[in-house]
Each structure stands twice: as C-alpha cells, then as structure tokens.
Amino acid sequence: MEDVEKTLRSIGCPPRSVLPVIIDPSSSSAVTPRVVMNTPTDSMAIVDYLEKTYPARPIFPDPSSRALQSLWVHWVTQSEGGFGRALVPLLVEGSLGRLGEGTKGWVGPDKGMDTETKKKAWKELKDQLDLIALFLDRNVDDTAGDGREVEGVLVQPPEISYADFALCSLFVWMERMGGREVWAEVRGWNGGRWAMLWEKCREYMDEF
C-alpha cells in the first residue's frame, strides 16, 4: 500500500483512494498512454472503456442486461451485506501475511480472530453463497431440451458475462490470499458450482 501513490504518479495519475486504475499504452501515443480509473460515482468506467475499445469478446452478450448486471455486481462485491464484504474477515489474516513490511506497519499488527468470531464469519460466508446459489437456481431449466445452461452456474447462460467474472474474481482473491483453507472448503459448496464457475472463467485468467 505504501507504493500506491508512487505507482499512480508514475503513470500520470494523481494519488487517489478509489481503485482500480488501469493504463492502456496501446490506445494512444507512447508519450501519453491512456489512464482509466473508476470513481465513487462511476464504478463502471474501466469496464465501459474496455468494452468500447476491445469489442471482440463482449462481456455483455445482451446489451439490455447492463443495468441488471451492474446492480448484481454492486450487490455481490460492494454492498454492505454482500458476498464480498462477508469475505473480508476470513481473508484479512491471509492477505496481511502476503503484504510487504511497510504495509504491515501501516495497517498495524494482525491480531487474528478468536474462535467464535471466525465461526460467525464462516457462517456469514456460507449464508451469502447459499443465497447466490438460490438466485442462480432460477436459471436451471432443461425442459426445453435446447442445450441451455442447467447447472445454475452462470448469471446469464449460456454466455459468460460481466456478472460471472465479478463473482469469480472474489473466488480468485479467496484462493490467492486466503490460504488453502478457505478456497478448499468453499469450492465444494452448493454442489461444487463455484469450482465449475472457476473452470468456466479459467481461460480468461491472465497471469503476469
């Protein structure tokens, strides 16, 4: 975290508290590469930019779904009672262990969770994923026999869309920063559908 200001200044972006920020050097001259950032009033700025600039593989297969997908993503990732917020208590411990020494000093010592607090955190996480699974089950319909998605995995089957990437990104965070314990447990919940979602999104996961 102590490197955020320096990194932002290096790409011509003023220090800010709202992330993420992306830089796209291929979109303009090498002297002034394009910097795109989300804002408190526009959390879709980066998504909209990438959709417009690189339309070959749209993440809104049905353009009319943009509003509903955006609402879903906000609820899952940012809302006070959403899945993303439920993840935080369980991932803070693992995440702090992966941060640099300067950041550890900035955020203070990791005191960990007592047994009762951790139990409540796991229950909240399970409740949130049970609710998401309940919503996704509304897509389970194989009566038409036309090959539609029947696992209750994707938000807008049969295409992977923005909503699916947003949910899977939280599982990636879980797997990378929460240690083996969290993802190893969660991937099998709700009939293993979260592991299935991971596999559907895998080909779009770039590693740098």
For the stretch 107-122, pLDDT in tens is 555 566 788 988 998 9
Same domain, 1 and 83: no
Residue 114 belongs to a domain with what CATH number? Answer: 1.20.1050.10
Residue 135's pLDDT is 93
User: Which whole number is the average pLDDT over 154-173?
Assistant: 92
Same domain, 76 and 171: yes
Same domain, 11 and 89: no
Residue 183's pLDDT is 92
Same domain, 78 and 52: no
Same domain, 114 and 176: yes
CA distance 83 to 131: 9
Same domain, 82 and 42: no
Count of domains observed in the chain: 2
CA distance 163 to 155: 6
In which domain, by residue range, is 91 found?
Answer: 64-204
Residue 145's pLDDT is 57
Range name among 24-28, 130-134, 146-150, 159-163 with the lowest pLDDT average: 146-150
Same domain, 157 and 126: yes
Higher pLDDT, 181 or 183: 183
Domain boundary among 9, 36, 56: 56
Same domain, 43 and 105: no
Same domain, 41 and 87: no
**In this structure, how many other beta carbons lie within 10 angstroms of the beta carbon of residue 157?**
19
Core vs surface per residue 183-207: b (16+ CB within 10 A) or e: beebbeebeebbbbbbebbeeeeee
Rg of the chain on CA atoms, in Å: 19
On the CB side of 55, CA atoms within 13 Å amount to 3
Same domain, 104 and 137: yes
Distances (CA, A) of 83 to 86, 87, 162: 5, 6, 16
Residue 39's pLDDT is 81
Global model pTM greater than 0.85: no
